[in-house]
Amino acid sequence: MKIIQNIKGTQDILPLETKKWQNLEASVRKVCARFGYEEIRTPIIEKTQLFSRGVGEDTDIVTKEMYTWEDKDGTSLTLRPELTASVARSFIQHNLGGKAPIQRLFYMGPLFRRERPQKGRQRQFHQFGVEAFGSDNPEQDAEIIAIAWHILSECGLNNVASLNLNSIGSSECRKKYREALRDYLKPNLEQLSETSQKRFELNPLRILDTKSIQEQNLLKDAPKISNFFNDNDKEHFDSVQELLDTLNIPFIINEKLVRGLDYYSNTVFEFISSNIGSQDALLGGGRYNHLVESLGGKKSSGIGFAAGMERFLLAMNEQNFESNIDIYFINLDHKSISKVFSLTDKLRKNGFSVLTDTLRRSMKSQLREANRSGAKYAIILGDVELSENNITIKNLKNGEQETIQQNDLINKMQSLTN
Ligand code: HAM
């Protein structure tokens, strides 16, 4: 009988992995508590119009990626493709704005987008995120970004994540800018891809984040949105940057960062990772001062971010793996097992973490295993070494190796790893 498998783009999280998930979840909860954010849980299914109105009719998410179906009573339902619209719906429905002037919320859970699966991109994935409703001051932006920074630091990712920051201004600013960008691109319209030509009509700002080199070249002298900021936009963005400086959070201004959801205004940001491949956005967010109104609520500004948990875990694996194991002790002859045991024991008593083979495998497969384990060094005890009381140390990062007296092993390893 044919075995039933999981659906493409989804994954089972097996016991070895769940430990890592629990650690990440614990870090998120710890940092959110530090900042006074409280958890909100919303349903996984929502009415489709929540996302078409909230996220935007013409966005990729709404036009191409949603799992949508008609329920038995004819209502169009959707598996949530993001959580900001759901949280805003809940905020309005339960009049949370009337209960406290600022609502600080966080969430974690699964969501669904029908994208082409690849490393770091699934059809069912998980996010944690935070949303703050009620303040349109720049200190609220800085607080939100600081939460992201604290969680990244807690996970050991602050060194691999770089903060890209931009402001897409107020709606009046974007209106003027859209016209200027269209005027600039019009003479070269035929050179743009089909997608960008569509965006030219619907949302020309999205052309700015094109991956095509040819289009990037075309955009080199394009007008900059910052030239269209009004006084408020400029003051707000300047203050956000000053506060980030105060908090020692490094950032770069990326004028091409526009984000793919329509609800943003003013501050937008992403933390990009250098170690997880092409799907490199660990986390993205921004200000959405009109979302609540557009969903029928009383005007309330908001800002937040969401992070892909699978991407966080990928980056954490890349990051932490090598530091866990110092040495892979290669054992080539079962005559030498007791020697290997006494040397590994000595190394461990001196604080090294050591893996060794217990399957009596070949040199080749032990070396493969050593590389896979992320160990920094392999130690080789073969026939020749054994007969001469020597031992070989191989640096697995650069391939260099040297043979030393067995008695010098601890001192040598201490000097290498200090
Ligand atoms: P987003 O940029 O669409 O924003 O998604 C946020 C993060 O979710 C991404 O940076 C990425 O890490 C992760 N992610 C997105 N799509 C996938 C996928 N197919 N597979 C794996 N991970 C993925 C939002 O969702 C906004 N709601 C963020 C926000 C909150 N803005 C304001 N508040």
**pLDDT tens digits for range 321-357:** 445 689 999 988 878 888 999 999 999 999 999 999 8
Cα separations in angstroms, 226 against 193, 237, 256, 267: 26, 10, 11, 12
State the DSSP code for 223: P
pLDDT of residue 16: 81
Give residue 65 CA to ligand 1 midpoint distance, Å.
13
- Mean pLDDT on 215-231: 95
User: Is the model's pTM score more than 0.85?
Assistant: no
Pick the residue with more confidence: 386 or 308?
308
The reported pLDDT for the residue numbered 322 is 47
Per-residue model confidence (pLDDT) at position 81: 98
CA distance 163 to 247: 13
Closest Cα to atom 12 of ligand 1? 308
C-alpha of 112 from chain center? 16
Q: What SS3 string covers 360-392?
A: CCCHHHHHHHHHHHCCCEEEEECHHHHHCCEEE
* Stretch 6-17: mean pLDDT: 94
Rounded to the nearest whole angstrom, what is the distance from the C-alpha of residue 232 to the centroid of ligand 1? 28
User: What percent of the chain stands above pLDDT 90?
Assistant: 86
Percent over 70 (pLDDT), the chain? 99
DSSP H helices in 35-170: 48-54, 60, 84-93, 96-99, 138-154
- pLDDT tens for 257-280 read 999 999 999 999 999 998 888 899
Atom of ligand 1 nearest to the CA of 82: 25
Expressed in angstroms and rounded, the spacing between residue 324 Cα and the centre of ligand 1 is 30
pLDDT band of 319, cuts 50, 70, 90: low
Q: How far apart are the C-alpha atoms of 370 and 401, rounded to whole Å? A: 15
Q: Is the CB of 148 under 6 A from ligand 1?
A: no
Average pLDDT estimate for 128-141: 98
pLDDT digits (tens, 9 = 90+) for 25-68: 999 999 999 999 999 999 999 999 999 999 999 999 999 999 99
Cβ of 113 closer than 6 Å to ligand 1, yes or no, is yes
Three-state secondary-structure class, residue 296:
coil
Burial class (CB in 10 A: 0-12, 13-18, 19+), 199: buried
CA–CA distance, 395 with 391 (Å, rounded to integer): 13
Q: Which atom of ligand 1 is nearest to the CA of 81?
A: 25
What crossing angle do the helices spanning 409-417 and 337-349 adopt, rounded to 10°?
A: 50
